[in-house]
Chain A
Amino acid sequence: MTPYFDPYNADRPLMLKCSCGKDHTVAEHQQEMSAASATAELKRRSLTSEFEAYSNAFIEATLVKALFPQDEVRRRFLRAVGKGTAMAAIGSVLPMASLQAMAQDKNALEKTKLKIGFIPITCATPLIMAHPLGFYSKQGLDVAVTKTAGWALIRDKMINKEYDATHFLSPMPLAISMGLGSNPTPMNVATIQNVNGQAITLALKHKNNRDPKNWTGFKFAVPFEYSMHNFLLRYYLAEAGINPDTDVQIRVVPPAEMVANLKAGNLDGFLGPDPFNQRAVYEEAGFIHVLTKDLWNGHPCCAFGSSTEFIQKNPNTFAALYRAVLTAAAMARQPGNRELIAKVIAPAQYLNQPEAVLTQVLTGKFADGLGKIQNVPDRADFDPIPWQSMAVWMLTQMQRWGYVKGEVNYKQIAEKVFLLTDAKKRMKELDQKVPEGAYPKFKIMGKEFDADKAAAYAKSFAISKAA
């Protein structure tokens, strides 16, 4: 027997199309069903007490870790002031108690009908999957996650208050708050949506030209000026002695057009968001030259945030939103869920991409376009902590490439935009001992970055526009 028809069953009509009545093949039916059943399965997993405990701990750990990035400092602080004070300090910024109680106490929400914007890329995974999995509604929120045509539009719609909160490129809230490319409007990053998850993809014709030193005259694309994509690509090129402003062309191009242009030969490569790197491989237009994970392991990419005004006006709503997104991030972090997540976010209303492409991105087992299967489980990861030192690094790069002129008060801007530093201010007000050194160091292409020496760092590059 095949699964296609059922000619000898007396209880069923013999239709020569799918038995669900819709006009599609059985294979398509199974695919659609599998997306639905993947949602159901993930939902089931999210309802277990084990996951609940895990996600609660995850959220708390995220908050504490953001406040005390250095473990030693955290322990010293906890020993000095005790658990209660520490929790109160965090709670003064993001009401932990109301985070926990939100499920019961729905009246506290200032606003329940929300509109959240997203760009259809895998970076938005937690934000998107929180919708079909019901994490928003569990927090008492009626959220419309709205696909948006481009980053400039995300910026405009946030400034226009059409969106209540949104998917950002993590440097965008810095740029908008500073008034680069728009009126200065204070924005906040609440969590980092994803870390890693980008790649440099080159056109197939450059298969044998993998050394960036020979890339003079190349045409590259990035999705937005104020993006990690732009900063990382520039960094990578400059490390190889290529001046990104004069030796190559870097254009701002929407990701789908990157793939088409790569195919047409108009672009030599791009540093773009997934799934479009994988899509370029899938379309046989290019190959994955290097994952950005290999430039800076754990680098932030996209973020979830909102305007400072919205957060101040709707603290409880924002806390509920924050919790929903963090719960989704907790789910997305577990490698066992990734395959199902790919199914859930593949349909037209979310990413609108082939499931096979998304699975490769999220599981990290992927075809590299050169005939090899690579296995990099943390190719894309979801570590939501908005380290301020990341923000400082972005500011040094904005300075380096001339997006910001003159002196920059790195830490002040970073602490204003990347949430959770308010906690430290409140602690000071409460006469508590404030933890020091909330700026972990990172290594980018082997060079250490110390946020305390940001100004010197910004000037330390051979290729740079910074005076």
Chain B
Amino acid sequence: MNAQRSLNFRAALLSVLMLLVVLGIWYVATASSTAANSTAGMTAEQIEYAKMMGKDPGSAKSTGFPTLGQMGTTIWGHLSDPFFDRGPNDKGIAIQLGYSLGRVGLGFLLAMLVAIPLGFVIGMSPLMRKAFDPFIQVLKPISPLAWMPLALYTIKDSSASGIFVIFICSIWPMLVNTAFGVAAVKREWLNVARTLEVNPLRTAFQVILPAAAPTILTGMRISMGIAWLVIVAAEMLVGGTGIGYFVWNEWNNLSLPNVIFAIGVIGVVGMLLDLLFGQIQKMVTYVE
């Protein structure tokens, strides 16, 4: 136990150290760009020209990669007021995240409603498995965003198209894992159920589902990871709201600090989602 704790402590220390090294490199790499401009020896026109180029005498323009200080201001600026709402084109980071999570949640839920029952059917019946297999094999490797133009064209609604793209990308890992989990349930358990004349529905819910749950959840975890990857790209394409739109909007302004901030937020939220599914997975896993 003690050894474990010391290992954890040392690992944490190492993590912090790595972070500091990265920040240090960042600091050094961007330090030179903050030199203030001086007006010595410039004509009036040159001074005005410099101003037009955003180089006010005495101040420093933020060109290129942001410094740590600028990054800090940006992060604090967003986090201190995450819920502002200035019309349809300018909302706080928390509101944007809310939209993205909402879309992911809805698309994911729809995918679950389709994938898990279908996975059960495929897992329980070898005939269905063989019949569905070619379709799954063809549809699974299609990049979710490739569906976007088709979705926009047929659904004729951009936010519904975003949800559809989440749906279509979440469905495959869940479907395949559910089918695998269901197919891998021990024969003896099914035979016992059959001997006791348990009806098929009860078998599905009380025997197969608990047995396959860890595998199903693994599929859901993978799906959620993909969905979170895809929503950002989808929102960059479709625009309107969401964290992907935020990235696009700030990129349109060539504002690197905001883009970097958004990248960080996307990473942290993705990690939290993964942790959440990890916890649920732990809850349904049992040791024989």
Contacts and interface: CB of A to CB of B under 8 A. Distances in A.
A377 to B, nearest CB: 16
Contacts of B81: 22
A146 B157 CA distance: 15
Given A22-B81, A373-B52, 18 more contacts: A23-B77, A145-B89, A147-B89, A149-B236, A149-B239, A157-B158, A255-B252, A259-B254, A281-B53, A282-B54, A283-B63, A349-B89, A352-B250, A357-B54, A366-B52, A367-B53, A373-B48, A373-B49
17 contacts: A23-B80, A144-B88, A148-B239, A149-B245, A150-B237, A162-B156, A162-B157, A279-B254, A282-B53, A284-B53, A347-B86, A348-B90, A349-B88, A352-B249, A352-B253, A360-B52, A373-B52
Nearest to B240: A146
Interface of B: 45, 48-49, 51-54, 63, 76-77, 80-81, 86-90, 152-153, 156-158, 236-240, 245, 248-255
A382 to B, nearest CB: 22
Nearest to A259: B254
Contacts of B88: 144-147, 349
Interface string A346-389: 01111011101100100000110001110000000000000000
Nearest to A147: B89
A17 to B, nearest CB: 11
A446 to B, nearest CB: 31
A281 B255 CA distance: 16
Contacts of A282: 52-54
Contacts of B152: 156, 160
Given A23-B77, A349-B86, A367 B49 contact: yes
A352 B252 contact: yes
Contacts of A145: 88-89
Nearest to A279: B254
Interface string A224-264: 00000000000000000000000000000011110110000
Contacts of B49: 367, 371-373
A347 B89 CA distance: 10
B138 to A, nearest CB: 26
B135 to A, nearest CB: 28
A153 interface: yes
Contact of B253 (A22, A146, A353): A353
Contacts of B86: 347-349
Nearest to B48: A373
Nearest to A148: B239
